[in-house]
Amino acid sequence: MASLLSRFCRKLAVPGSAHGARMVSTTTSCGSETVKSLNLYSAINQALHIALETDPRSYVFGEDVGFGGVFRCTTGLAERFGKNRVFNTPLCEQGIVGFGIGLAAMGNRAVVEIQFADYIYPAFDQIVNEAAKFRYRSGNQFNCGGLTIRAPYGAVGHGGHYHSQSPEAFFCHVPGIKVVIPRSPREAKGLLLSSIRDPNPVVFFEPKWLYRQAVEEVPEHDYMIPLSEAEVIRQGNDITLVGWGAQLTVMEQACLDAEKEGISCELIDLKTLLPWDKETVETSVKKTGRLLISHEAPVTGGFGAEISATILERCFLKLEAPVSRVCGLDTPFPLVFEPFYMPTKNKILDAIKSTVNY
Amino acid sequence: MATAFSATLPLHGSQENRLLLPPTRLAPPPPSSSFLGSTRSLPIRSLNHAHASRRSPVFAVQEVVKDKKKPTNSLLITKEEGLVLYEDMILGRSFEDMCAQMYYRGKMFGFVHLYNGQEAVSTGFIKLLTQSDSVVSTYRDHVHALSKGVSARAVMSELFGKVTGCCRGQGGSMHMFSKEHNVLGGFAFIGEGIPVATGAAFTSKYKREVLKQDCEDVTVAFFGDGTCNNGQFYECLNMAALYKLPIIFVVENNLWAIGMSHLRSTSDPEIWKKGPAFGMPGVHVDGMDVLKVREVAKEAVGRARRGEGPTLVECETYRFRGHSLADPDELRDAAEKAKYAARDPITALKKYLVENKLANEGELKSIEKKIDELVEEAVEFADASPQPGRSQLLENVFADPKGFGIGPDGRYRCEDPKFTEGTAQV
């Protein structure tokens, strides 16, 4: 799996991830912009540094963020910006997010860290009932746009039931919040800065598998990647593949294999799931006539269903085959059975072939 | 009926315990805090019993510090009990050490949280329980399961992800269940098990009082200091006291929630005080001393069995290893670690048994050897056990044990060739 990361970010193996793994630092200057090879957690760390630097009323808090967090995303923040702006909270997700909403309602930027997306459920009430509806029900007198909730999500190989979940579908059902998922370090930094500065509450899921595995050249300056714009990361003519986060690396590998069999695949990174860029996907499907969606979350009720339904509405006559979804199985995320549960490259490849040969 | 916790003989003479006094007197200022580094001076609060009619009375915990020279007729345990306790703690310790070895050899994977140093709490409480009493734990649950009676083989196999594990390899380290021994689970999520334990306790009470069955079962819920800042904890304290449930809430306060110090995350770090606020007794006990824990447990379990309601017990303890096997454990002060290492509960019990002539070195050594062999055998058994079949993945999602995965051709979907393609070796 590591080798295919070279398609859109340079590969650097960091095996046996001990917590002390150092980030690679090779600084090169390409024209006016300085780039550095960073992995995902370092890119996010950089984004947080920039966010706190540029807005004096921004705060980062969550469980264990003080020493850098269990994934090292918040390293150096407390030392640099002080314990008044970067602090640990007690273990109460509901309280943490509600507290963040309050801070945001008073005009601050609150960047809340939830230690694992699996633990976000106690906060679900606050996010759905408060954060999403604050601007709406106060008639725009108050809003909690300054709220950004960051959570590591997704499979990690050994996470089991409670360290591997992908809850994005639950949040995509809530009007009023945005859901953003980056695929690589460079994307993550830009998207996180956009999310923090976006005037709406954003739930930002970070693929934890990629924290150390993905390495890419990330510009050192302050840059933002627009939300709600999908990106076509690979051009093709036969079938459109849509995905987000870590799953894209698997899909990329399937695309390469499909190419060997003469199938040209177009791969789209959705980036923002809510509100999602329907036009880009629609244009692509009108060109290729086939769609395949892949995500780690269970297939029933996953976000792939929404994409499928919308594309059917818009492109029905252009479709040559039913929309295919290659997703996790409808079981709790398993421990030992993870390789069987996951939408692996071969499952995607099979689906590509059967869709193309429909 | 007023009950007082009995006096305990401390294994380390200098340890004092908290006093929780009945409403007629104010608590005297306590001696130096037993929490490392706490510079908080404890406010003296009078207990407000304006609503006493709705609350169960708060009982006194009389624990007096005695010096080491005691007449031998006030020993707390018999020889048999002592050996049982010793064996249980040695089992817990050896098992966890073996887990660490196996983890670093790649035999088990995932997140593993070890219990080294906290054995006194598990042994002190669980060895007083019967098979039908329930235990609810956290992710640090291997030793709770072992103390409750789940065989080392079953736990080790579960850790290895084998089908002979107590949960058929589905749960792993953080999810030890046993119907036979009434272990209602390890829970990865902090505080998640406490409401479950509260419900289980309600069942016992219902059986006894409504169905008039002969049921004296209690439930013991174990959780940590970090959990005491979580909403679920308070909700359950309230419910348990309100319904007067036969439950004991045991806080294993090891001062650290991964890297978050308890003292820096809690407005009032003395967790035992939160009991009386809800109308149940709160007790603080030295969790590195199995005999003290046992004495407090006897009283708390006794209360619950008699139908007098819940108790909150805070055990001051310490974990010798990091939060999990992936935790480099850089944040804790070496001096703090050394201080608690000197209070190792196993060494302390050994010393007690030998000094009070309850056992000699030879007997204790033979117990240790026996346990070593048991744990080795558990590893061999786990190694030799088969992995679960792939069809197990879809089983037990719903009530139908075969799951739901039936394809249109009437065969279980897990046998569909497509299902098995592209899979890596586990």
Among A91, A331, A349, whose Cβ lies nearest the Cβ of B229?
Answer: A91
Structure tokens at B372: 């070593």
- Show pLDDT as tens, one digit a residue, over chain A (358 residues): 444 444 444 443 333 333 433 334 445 554 567 899 999 999 999 999 999 999 999 999 999 998 999 999 999 999 999 999 999 999 999 999 999 999 999 999 999 999 999 999 999 999 999 999 999 999 999 999 999 999 999 999 888 899 999 999 999 999 999 999 999 999 999 999 999 999 999 999 999 999 999 999 999 999 999 999 999 999 999 999 999 999 999 999 999 999 999 999 999 999 999 999 999 999 999 999 999 999 999 998 999 999 999 999 999 999 999 999 999 988 889 888 888 889 999 999 999 999 999 9
Bridge partner residues of A86 (DSSP): A60
Q: Of B336, B340, B248, whose CA–CA distance to B294 is shortest?
A: B248
ipTM of the complex: 0.82
The CA distance from A341 to B423, in Å, is: 9
The residue behind tokens 């001096």 is B335
* Domain annotation covers residue A303: yes
Mutate to test the interface with A, among B138, B265, B395 (most CBs of A within 10 A): B265
In a domain, A278, yes or no: yes
User: B41-96 pLDDT, tens per residue?
Assistant: 333 333 343 333 333 343 333 333 333 334 445 788 999 999 999 999 999 999 99
Residue of A65, A208, A336 to mutate when probing chain B, most B C-beta within 10 A: A336
Q: What's the residue count for chain A?
A: 358
> How far does B259 lie from chain A, in Å, by closest CA?
6
Is A88 in Cβ contact with B418 (below 8 Å)? Answer: no
Rounded Cα gap, residues B287 and B272, in angstroms: 13
Residue A99 sits in the same domain as residue A209: yes
Going A228 to A233 to A235 to A237, the CA torsion angle's sign is negative
Please check whether residues A173 and A277 belong to one and the same domain.
no
Residue among B259, B393, B405 whose CB faces A341 most closely: B393
With CB atoms and an 8 Å threshold, state whether B418 touches A347: yes
- Strand partners for A149: A112, A203
Residues A71 and A39 in one domain: yes
From A160, A195, A219, the end of a domain falls on: A219
Task: Dump pLDDT digits (tens) for B335-391.
Answer: 999 999 999 999 999 999 999 999 999 999 999 999 999 999 999 999 999 998 887
The total number of structural domains in chain A stands at 2
pLDDT band at B409 (very low <50, low <70, confident <90, very high): low
Note whether A336 contacts B170, CB cutoff 8 Å. yes
Q: Report yes or no: B99 and B108 within 8 Å, Cβ to Cβ.
A: yes
Token pair of A303, please? 């976000």
Chain B residues with CB-CB distance to A91 below 8 A: 190-191, 226-227, 229-230, 257, 260, 265
Compare all CA atoms of chain A with the CA of B267 and give the residue at the minimum distance: A90
Q: Which of A49, A63, A93, A113 is catalytic?
A: A93
CA distance A32 to chain B (A): 40
pLDDT at B331: 84
Helices (H), A243-277: 247-260
Chain B residues with CB under 8 Å of A345 CB are: 422
Looking up tokens 């509901």 gives A94
Asked if B111 lies within 8 A of A158 by C-beta distance, the reply is yes
Which pLDDT does position B389 carry in this prediction?
A: 85
Beta bridge partners of A111: A60, A148
Q: What is the pLDDT of residue A354?
A: 93
The region that residue B211 occupies, defined by phi over 0 for left and psi between -120 and 50 for alpha, beta otherwise, is alpha
**H/E run at residue A48:** helix A40-54
**A199, A219, A239 — which closes off a domain?**
A219
| Minimal C-alpha gap between B166 and chain A (Å) | 14
SS3 call for A154 = coil
Q: What is the DSSP letter of B61?
A: B
Nearest Cα of chain A lies from the Cα of B106 at a distance, in angstroms, of: 11
A93 flagged as catalytic: yes
Shortest Cα–Cα distance, B402 to chain A (Å): 12
DSSP B135-178: EE--SS-HHHHHHHT--HHHHHHHHHT-TTSTTTTSS-TT---B
Nearest to B385 by CA among B112, B180, B160: B160
pLDDT tens, position by position, B286-320? 999 999 999 999 999 999 999 999 999 999 999 99
Beta bridge partners, A179, equal A203, A274
Domain harbouring A331, CATH code: 3.40.50.920
Residue B128 has pLDDT above 90, yes or no: yes
CA B297 to chain centre: 12
Three-class SS of residue B223? strand
Min Cα–Cα distance to chain A from B176, Å:
13
Residue B404: predicted pLDDT = 60
Q: What is the DSSP string of B295-330?
A: HHHHHHHHHHHHT---EEEEEE---SS-SSTT----
User: What's the pLDDT band for B236 if we cut at 50, 70, 90?
Assistant: very high
Nearest CA-CA partner of A203 in A176, A242, A225, A163: A176
Chain B nearest-CA residue for A63: B260
Alpha-carbon distance of B173 to B182, in angstroms, equals 17
Q: Would you call B110 and A160 a contact, using CB atoms and an 8 Å cutoff?
A: yes
- The minimal CB distance from A336 to the residues B226, B405, B426 is found for B426
Q: Which residues of A touch B (CB under 8 A)?
A: 18-20, 63-64, 66-67, 70, 88-92, 94-95, 118-119, 122, 157-163, 329-332, 334-341, 344-347, 349-350
Note whether A346 and A307 are same-domain residues: yes
pLDDT tier at B412 (50, 70, 90 boundaries)?
low
Rounded alpha-carbon distances, angstroms, from residue B45 to A37, A258, B20, B29, B164: 58, 73, 11, 10, 53
- A294 is a domain residue: yes
Structural domain boundaries enclosing A129: 35-219
Tokens linked to B73: 């007729």
* Higher-scoring residue by pLDDT: B139, A14: B139
Hey, are the CB atoms on B110 and A18 less than 8 Å from each other?
no
Q: Are A252 and A336 part of one and the same domain?
A: yes
* A189 plus A240 within the same structural domain: no
Please compute the mean of the pLDDT values over residues B29-39 and round it to a whole number: 37
For A335, which of B161, B328, B418 is closest by C-beta distance? B161
Query: What's residue A99's pLDDT?
Result: 95
CB atoms within 10 A of CB B125: 28
Q: Is residue A13 part of a domain?
A: no
Q: Which of A164, A257, A340 to mutate to test the interface with B (most CBs of B within 10 A)?
A: A340
Q: Which residues pair with A37 in a beta bridge?
A: A217
CATH of the domain at A75: 3.40.50.970
> Buried b / exposed e across A188-201, counting CB within 10 Å, b at 16+?
bbbbbbbbbbbebb
For the record, the structure tokens of A43 come out as 């890119």
A103 CB-near residues (< 8 Å, 6+ apart) = A59, A110, A146, A147
- A194 and A239 part of one domain: no
Q: Is B267 left (phi over 0), alpha (psi -120 to 50) or beta?
A: alpha
How close A288 comes to chain B (CA, Å)? 25
> Are A66 and B260 within 8 A, CB to CB?
yes
Residue A225 lies in a domain: no
In a domain, residue A128? The reply is: yes
Concerning whether A163 is annotated as a catalytic residue, the answer is yes
Selection from A282, A304, A301 nearest residue A293 by Cα: A304
Please answer whether residues B319 and B19 qualify as being in contact, where contact means their C-beta atoms are separated by less than 8 angstroms.
no
Same domain membership, residue A166 and residue A269: no
Please tell me whether residues A111 and A159 are part of one structural domain: yes
Least CB-CB distance to B423: which of A118, A161, A339? A339
Name the percent of chain A in helix, strand, coil, to the closest 5.
40, 20, 40
Q: Please, which residues bridge with residue B412 across strands?
A: B406
Q: How many A-B residue pairs are in contact by the CB < 8 A criterion?
A: 122
- Give the CA radius of gyration of chain B: 23
- A332 with A284, same domain: the answer is yes
Nearest to B55 by CA among B219, B245, B234, B277: B277
Residue ending a domain, choose from A219, A241, A272: A219
Give me the catalytic one of A63, A113, A130, A163.
A163
DSSP reduced 3-state for B5: strand
Instruction: Classify residue A27: in a domain, yes or no.
Output: no
Residue A130 is classified by DSSP as: I
Please name the member of A20, A163, A340 whose beta carbon is closest to the beta carbon of B393.
A340
Q: Which residue on chain A is closest to B397 by alpha carbon?
A: A331
Looking at the fold, whether A58 and A158 belong to one and the same domain comes out as yes
pLDDT for residue B396 is more than 90: no
The pLDDT score that the predictor gives to residue A159 is 86
Residue with tokens 């006990």: B285
Q: Report d(CA B291, CA B63) in Å as an integer.
A: 13
Same domain, A277 and A208: no
CB contact under 8 A, B397 and A332: yes
pLDDT at B33: 36
Q: Tell me whether residue A132 is in a domain.
A: yes
Are B188 and A347 within 8 A, CB to CB? no
